[in-house]
Amino acid sequence: MDAGMMVLEGIVVFIVVGGFLVSIAPAIILDIIWIIRVKLGKSPKFGPLGIISIIVSALTLMGLPYEFILLIELVNFVR
């Protein structure tokens, strides 16, 4: 394997893993903010922030199979 192909693989790994992290980050951040605000009593459990957090978490969970397929294809590509 030449150096150019190794650089290309590194770029592909960076893009796929970065995209995976970017896709799950909003749900994690919103859940943390929501839990903290509910525990402090500043926000109702199913207020606007709670509903938005649940929707974003559900959309993220529905997108995870696609992300895992991309990661599996990446592993097969690198081999």
In the predicted structure, residue 77 carries a pLDDT above the cut 80: no
Give the number of domains in the chain. 1
pTM: 0.67
3-state DSSP of 7-27: HHHHHHHHHHHHHHHHHHHHH
53 near 31, Cβ under 8 Å? yes
Question: Domain limits at 30?
Answer: 3-74
Q: For the segment 10-65, what is each residue's pLDDT rounded down to a tens digit?
A: 888 888 888 888 888 988 999 999 999 999 988 888 888 888 888 999 988 898 88
Q: What is the DSSP string of 37-78?
A: HHHHTSS-TTSHHHHHHHHHHHHHHHHHHHHHHHHHHHHHHH
Q: Is residue 19 part of a domain?
A: yes
Q: Is residue 10 part of a domain?
A: yes
In the predicted structure, residue 78 carries a pLDDT above the cut 70: no
pLDDT computed for residue 75 by the predictor: 76
pLDDT computed for residue 49 by the predictor: 84
Q: Is residue 79 part of a domain?
A: no
